[in-house]
Amino acid sequence: MKTPANMLPRIAHCVFSSPPARVLLLGGILVLFMSLNTDVMSNYAGEPFKAVLHIIALAIAGFAVYVGYAHFIEKRALSEIALRGAGRQLGLGLLVGVGLYAACELILMALGIYRIVGLNPLSYMIPALAMALSSSVYEELLFRGVLFRAVEQWLGSWVALVVSSLVFGLTHLLNPQGTMEGALFIAVEAGILLAAAYMLTRQLWLSIGFHFAWNYTQSAIFSGIVSGNDAQQGLIRSTVNGPDWLTGGSFGVESSVLALLLCTTTGIVMLLMATKRGRILPPIWKRPGRLFATRDMA
C-alpha cells in the first residue's frame, strides 16, 4: 500500500504538470523574460549589435527554461521543439513569412499607395533583428507552446485555437499604437496562421519562422509599423498614402484587409491539411482511456 508520503511526489507532479500550472508557472517565467527583452532593446537602442547579442542570449535562456520545465516538471518528451525537421520547417516558415508580407506591399505598390523614394544603408536592417527574434521566439513559446498546448490538453484543438488567438491578439493592445481593430485582426489572421502551423506540424519551428520573417521584413526592409509599435527606418525609404483599410493605418499592415485575407487564407489551408492528416486533438472527454494524457501527433 502506498503511504501518503510516497504519494506526495505523484500529487506534486500532477499539480505542476497540469494545464493551469503550466500557464501560470511556465507562462509567468516567459512573460518575465519578455520584459527583459524589452529592457534590452530599450537600453541598447543605439547599439544594435549588442542588442542582437543580448536577445540571442535571452532566446537561448528561454528555450532552456522551456526544456527544463518539460523535462523536470512535466517529465515528458519535448516533441514540439525537437531538432528533427527543424531546419526544413524553419526555412519554410521564413520563406512563406517573407512572401506573405511582400505580397501585401506589392499590392499596395500596384495601387500606388506605397511608393519607394530611396534606400537607406544596409546597416539600417540590423536593429530589427533583435525585435523579430525576441517576438518570434518568446511569443511562440508562450502563446503556442504554453497556452495553446495547455488549453488543448483538456479542451481540444479547436477551443485552444480560439483561446490562444484571442489572447494573442488582445495583448497587442499594450503596444503604443494598439487599437481594438488591430488586435482583432491579429487574433484572426495571425492567431489562425500561427496556431495552424503548430497543429499541422506539431512543432513550433514553422510558426517561429512565419513570425520572425513577417516582423523582420515589415520593419527591416519596408520600414513598416509592426503591430502598433513605433515605426523604425529600415532599408526602404517610402511614402504611404491610402485608406486605413488597405494600409492598416497607425497599427501597420496587420490591420489591413490585405493581411487579413492573405494570412487567414494561408492559415485555413493549413488547418484543412492538419484535419486531413488527423492532427486535431478532441476534448479530453472524447478521448477514451486517455483522461490525463496528451497525444503526440508529431
Residue pLDDT, tens place only, 172-205: 999 888 899 999 999 999 999 999 999 999 999 9
Residue pLDDT, tens place only, 198-252: 999 999 999 999 999 999 999 999 999 999 888 889 999 999 999 999 999 999 9
Q: What is the mean pLDDT of residues 163-174?
A: 95
Pull the grid cell for residue 13.
507532479
pLDDT at position 281:
95
Q: What is the mean pLDDT of residues 66-76?
A: 91
Question: Over the chain, what is the mean pLDDT?
Answer: 91
Residue 279: pLDDT band by 50, 70, 90 thresholds?
A: very high
Closest to 172 (Cα-Cα) out of 159, 158, 162, 182: 182
Closest to 51 (Cα-Cα) out of 108, 171, 134, 146: 134
pLDDT at position 232:
86
pTM, rounded to two decimals: 0.92
Q: What is the mean pLDDT of residues 70-87?
A: 91
Residue 291: pLDDT band by 50, 70, 90 thresholds?
A: very low
Let me know: does 235 contact 126? Beta carbons within 8 Å: no
pLDDT at position 287:
84
**How large is the greatest C-alpha to C-alpha distance in the chain, in angstroms?**
79
Distance CA 122, CA 98 (A): 18
Residue 90: pLDDT band by 50, 70, 90 thresholds?
A: very high
* Percentage of the chain exceeding pLDDT 70: 92
Distance CA 69, CA 64 (A): 9
Domain boundaries, the chain: 85-286
pLDDT at position 298:
43
Residue 98: pLDDT band by 50, 70, 90 thresholds?
A: very high
Distance CA 280, CA 276 (A): 9
290 has pLDDT over 90: no
293 has pLDDT over 60: no
288 has pLDDT over 50: yes
282 has pLDDT over 90: yes
Residue pLDDT, tens place only, 250-267: 999 999 999 999 999 999
Residue pLDDT, tens place only, 6-48: 665 666 667 767 888 899 999 999 999 999 998 998 888 889 9
Let me know: does 164 contact 183? Beta carbons within 8 Å: no
pLDDT at position 176:
87
Residue 295: pLDDT band by 50, 70, 90 thresholds?
A: very low
pLDDT at position 5:
55
Pull the grid cell for residue 198.
503548430
pLDDT at position 124:
94
